[in-house]
Amino acid sequence: MDIFENIINSFASIWSNKLRSGLTMLGIIIGVSSVVVMVAIGTGAQQGITSRLQQMGTNVLFVSPGGGSDIRTVFRGGGSGTLKNSDFQALEGMDGVRGISPELSGNKQGIYKNNNTRIRLIGVQPEYFNLKDKELIAGNFLNDEDDLKRNKNIVIDETAWEDLFGGINPIGEDIRIENSIFRVVGLIKGESGESFIPFSTAQLRVFGQKTVSQIAVFANEADEMDAIKANIEKILLAEHNINDAASADFSVLNQTELLDTINDVTAIFTILLGGIAAISLLVGGIGVMNIMLVSVMERTREIGIRKAIGAHRNDILIQFLIESVILSLLGGILGILLSFGVKRIIASATELQPIITTGSILMAFGFSAGVGIFFGLLPSYKASKLKPIDALRFE
């Protein structure tokens, strides 16, 4: 019997037991879709963070509280509070630097009439918008007077605009943030859920602390980054009265170091998620093996007849192995299709944008084929070992 005929017979056998075959494939479907979706989540998170970092501008160094290479404060602020106003003031006027932007940030609840949303509130100085090339859609940026007088003005991005105002003109409207009322003076392009208030207002009226979450230092040229980094460390070590650089209570990272760290972390994260999801694929493979063992038992007389009329051991083994692989591949195809649906649900329900790559699809498809071969070997081998006389006597 040739391969083509074995494939046809396998499809016929699968179709004749549609419910059982469907339940068998269900484990593979769930396993494959889990692997694809989990890898897509990791890939999407990596590209989202990388994109956000690139939007901060080129040739940027980030000074964060705490020693070591802690990248968390670059994206969500906070830290141990070791950076003060005097630190960024000491860095002003450095050679090779076109600007310095201190930030104080935290998550707050924004309320407008009956709408409310969680926003990332960032206290910035007026230079921030030019240094980071923010694009204004309506209204105005914050100005020097806002920072000098600690005005309660706020600039929101498109995400906060949609969540709070539903697309209506927000300029001149008031937002409640905790016990304070902020007037919207500007709308900027971007969907990161960030809103900006004067730096002095953030320190004294919102967060109540004279600390800095992060200092972004913008270099004129890329080849000056190392020299500027060394200069920043020298100035801040002196500012903090620290003699040993290993004991520094701050960290200075450039974009390349951040991207490398992010890629390493997200790669491990993606592998971990994929490994967890692969467990369900393993469970699905065990289900395939169990069903194939049942199928061998049910078709014992058929095996005996085929052997009696001249079928070789390898013919029987290949027939059942092909059937197992087809079951797994069909489950793999349906699992990949399901993963696209799950991806759309995640993308619409959360801010995360999973990315399904060709590599993850091929990997999942290959895994499903491997599962069919691996878990189909035992039933196929058992079928091929049956003796014709014993098989024909089986009731």
pTM confidence score: 0.61
Question: In whole angstroms, how far apart are CA 203 and each of 78, 92, 102, 186?
Answer: 13, 19, 11, 21
Cross-strand bridge partners of residue 174: 183
DSSP assignment letter at 211: B
The answer to whether the beta carbons of residues 43 and 357 sit under 8 Å apart is yes
Question: In whole angstroms, how far apart are CA 322 and each of 13, 332, 373, 376?
Answer: 11, 15, 8, 8
The 10 Å Cβ neighbour count of residue 151 is 19
Q: Please, is 341 exposed, middle or buried when counting C-beta atoms within 10 Å of its C-beta (0-12, 13-18, 19+)? A: exposed
Please report, for the chain, the start and end positions of each structural domain, with discontinuous segments joined by +. 3-50+262-393, 83-248
| pLDDT of res. 392 | 53
**What's the length of the chain?**
395
Question: In whole angstroms, how far apart are CA 163 and each of 51, 118, 370?
Answer: 22, 9, 46
What stretches of 56-157 show up as alpha helix (H) in DSSP?
72-76, 85-91, 127-131, 144-148
| pLDDT of res. 386 | 66
| pLDDT of res. 67 | 66
H or E element that contains 287 = helix 255-298
DSSP assignment letter at 134: P
10-residue stretch averages of pLDDT, the chain, 395 residues long: 68 76 82 85 79 67 75 48 88 90 93 92 94 91 95 95 92 93 95 91 90 90 87 93 88 77 76 74 78 72 69 74 83 90 85 82 81 77 67 52
| pLDDT of res. 262 | 74
The 10 Å Cβ neighbour count of residue 111 is 16
Question: Measured on CA atoms in the order 208, 212, 213, 216, is the torsion positive or negative?
Answer: positive
Q: Which residue has the tokens 């699809």?
A: 361
